[in-house]
Amino acid sequence: MANPVANTVTDLMQPTPQQKLIDFLEKDLAIPTNAIAIGLRHQEATPLPDNLLPMVLWQYGLITIDQLDQVFEWLETA
């Protein structure tokens, strides 16, 4: 019989899709943490889905159109 607590702990350790996106933005595209924080605050203030964070960052000039394209390519394979 599987241990349900062990499964729960494993699930908690898995990064969320949004955390994976944030990691990609920080590590691969070198987007500053404070720029991501601005996008996240805007996202919390409006009823936007999590997957619109890249668009919010672009809308506010925090990433370039080329970086936005890279994010979309990454999202297709993530």
* E strand intervals along the chain: none
Return the percentage of the chain with pLDDT > 70, whole number: 78
Question: Which of 17, 53, 48 lies closest to 38, judged by CA?
Answer: 53
**pLDDT for the residue 42:** 85
pLDDT in tens, 16-54: 888 999 999 999 999 999 999 999 988 777 776 667 899
**pLDDT for the residue 78:** 84
**pLDDT for the residue 8:** 57
Mean pLDDT of all residues belonging to the chain: 85
Q: Sign of dihedral through CA atoms 57, 58, 62, 65?
A: positive
pTM of the entire predicted model = 0.76
In the chain, what are the domain boundaries? 30-78
